[in-house]
Amino acid sequence: MRLPLAAASLALAAALAPASVAAQASERVLTIFGNDKCPADTICVRAPENDRYRIPKELRRSVPTPEDRSWATRVGTMEYTGRTGTGSCSPVGAGGWTGCYQKMLREARDERRAAAEEREQNQPQR
């Protein structure tokens, strides 16, 4: 008794599957921007005009990885490695302390730039 019931349910599922696939294929969902017209026989999702040329949210990466940094930025961090003497802000060599103010200004500028970029990325889209 179980075998004919299972076969009948499989046959019913097979018969219904192509209809649902065909229904999905005939329904088209399109994202339109601004005041663009929606084509006939299409389901339209309206988005703001300023999102027209943006990368879709699903494809945007929220946190940049270290590999995303430019080569110039990576080399810039090594620029001051091993520096001694005047203008170096190191305890080694005569006048090593003279570069400490410049180092503090450079770090503050980098922190401000990073904070501004983070605020810009976290702003809600209009």
Region of poorest pLDDT, from 16-25, 29-38, 82-91, 108-117: 16-25
pLDDT of residue 48: 92
pLDDT number for residue 77: 67
Stretch 7-20: mean pLDDT? 47
pLDDT tens column, 98-107: 778 888 888 8
Q: Shortest CA distance to 87 belongs to which of 103, 105, 108, 110?
A: 103
Q: What is residue 32's predicted lDDT score, i.e. its pLDDT?
A: 92
Q: What are the tens digits of pLDDT across the range 42-61?
A: 899 999 999 889 888 878 77
Concatenating the DSSP letter of every residue in 66-89 gives GGGS-HHHHHHHHTTTT--STTS-
